[in-house]
Amino acid sequence: MEPVTEELAACCASRRWVEALAGRSYKDVGDLQAASKRALDALEWADVEEALAAHPRIGDRVQGGTREAGWSRGEQSGMDGTAADLQAALVEGNRAYEEHFGHVFLICASGRSALEMLGELRERLGNDVETERAAVRRELAKIVDLRLAKLLEGT
């Protein structure tokens, strides 16, 4: 994988999304994020699932020294110091969500507490499949936008 492609894949693991953005020039982060939005909107659900497969469960601490692992740890910093009962509730919520929808619960965790994320998880468990897929796409777009900005900042 080329360096630019690897960097983009750290932002979103959908190969189709990476292909749509790689090899082009962007005048600024806003231009890049607009191109990203268009590419995300064009993804088939299988492409979204490919992106989801690279995301850890809320509450899981990603190991490793990759850029994506570091970003994930930072994004989930609201989980730091979470009480055992709240951690257990998140584990159970993740299990129920995955059984119901067949993929990891995705939420833009940046700036959110564990309690907020648990509340959102429980609320979204009541969604029908199409409503939840729309929510997943919105959350994925938020995460990708944040990561693209971090990528361009060099953090």
Res. 74: pLDDT tops 60: no
- What the block records as the tokens of 25 is 């020039």
Q: Are 40 and 142 in contact (CB under 8 A)?
A: no
Q: How far apart are CA 150 and CA 50, in angstroms?
A: 22
pLDDT given at position 149: 92
79, 107 in Cβ contact below 8 A? no
Q: Residue 20 pLDDT > 90, yes or no?
A: yes
Average pLDDT over residues 7-17: 95
Q: Which comes out higher in pLDDT, residue 71 or 107? A: 107
CA distance 149 to 153: 6
CA neighbours closer than 13 Å in the CB half-sphere of residue 107? 26
Q: What does the pLDDT look like over 21-35, one tens digit per residue?
A: 998 889 988 999 999
pLDDT (average), residues 101-114: 92
Q: Cα–Cα distances in Å, from 91 out to 59, 76, 83, 95, 104?
A: 8, 15, 13, 6, 11
pTM: 0.86
Residue 8 has pLDDT above 80, yes or no: yes
C-alpha closest to that of 112 among 120, 124, 122:
120
Report the pLDDT value the prediction gives residue 110, as an integer from 0 to 100: 87
DSSP state of 76: T
- The end-to-end CA distance of the chain, in Å, is 21
